[in-house]
Amino acid sequence: MLTSASGQIIHNFFVISVVIEMRNIWAFAWGALVGVLGGLIGLGGAEFRLPVLVSIFNYRTLQAVIINLIVSLVTVAFSFIFRSGVIGLEDVAEHWAVIVNILAGSLIGSYRGVHYATQISERTLHWIVVGFLIFLSMVLIGHNFIFSVGRLQLPIFLRIGFGFLAGIVIGIFSSMLGVAGGELIIPTIILLFAVDIKLAGSFSLAISIPTIVMGLFKYRSQQRLKEVKSEQKFIGSMASGSILGAFVGSGLLRHVSSSLLYLILGTILLLSALKLAKHKPAA
């Protein structure tokens, strides 16, 4: 009897270990796939990763946001390192005023975004996330139109003011979705400050890193990081896959038409958001 019970325990433990390991392998695979999508447009792909965390891996919305934020930090940090070999840090530092302008707002927005995300119900957060993702899909689909507008002819004080306000909105997006917010940062920089798109991409990463850190700091201060403490291997697997995918995606970028690419990826994000809308959130 005892031997039989011991054998059953060992069997159950083995099955659970295999399931967990397979889950981590799938986390790496999905992270890589999402990383490729993000790499193709020069971003971390967190917008595509969030629906996967909720719909595929069945995390609660807030858990998914926190995991997404952690993975986004790792991915963006590595992207910044990879990119520094192409666009030197001295070029980024030369335009420090633009970075500080938007970053000042994004840090405030990131701090407040965590407050909003943790004070509302899971159901409300779920639908806010869906709405944000649909909005971001529209930004991607309308990408070419946005950049065809060119620099807005505004007085310097208005550009600074709009940059600060845009930073607040971007920070809120970052904390409530667990994203870097590059889809919003890059157009803001180009429209307000007429910066080259490649340089704007580096600015975006420089702004995203402290913005994400602020969000994680706030989640930690509210004791929310412990909700994903047991998911360290899963997070590590997905982050590793995301880094690999972003590297591969960046290499494929030169072989794909950017106009068509943004339309396709925007459509994918829209469909993902609609699928997420069908997912039944916790009350």
253 falls within a domain? yes
> Which candidate, 261, 244, 192, 216, places its Cα nearest to that of 44?
244
Nearest Cα neighbor of 204 from 229, 243, 173 is 173
Burial tier of 23 (Cβ tally within 10 Å: 0-12, 13-18, 19+): middle
Coil, helix or strand for 179?
coil
- How many residues in the chain? 283
89 domain-assigned: yes
What whole-number distance in Å separates Cα of residue 214 and Cα of residue 35? 23
Q: Has residue 92 been placed in a domain?
A: yes
CA geometry: angle at 52 spanning 228 and 226, to 5°? 5
167 part of a folded domain = yes
Q: Tell me what pLDDT residue 140 has.
A: 79
pLDDT of residue 190: 81
pTM of the model: 0.82
Q: What pLDDT is attached to residue 11?
A: 44
Q: Give yes or no for a contact between 117 and 227, defined as CB atoms under 8 angstroms apart.
A: no
Q: What is the pLDDT of residue 260?
A: 72
- Sign of the CA dihedral running 198, 39, 132, 129: negative
**Residues 60/26, Cβ–Cβ less than 8 Å:** no
Domain limits for position 222: 2-278
In the chain, the number of structural domains is 1
Q: Which residues in the chain come in under a pLDDT of 50?
A: 2, 11, 13-15
Kindly state whether residue 229 falls inside one of the protein's structural domains: yes
CA distance 174 to 166: 12
**Domain assignment of residue 283, yes or no:** no
Which structure tokens are listed for 191?
């429209």
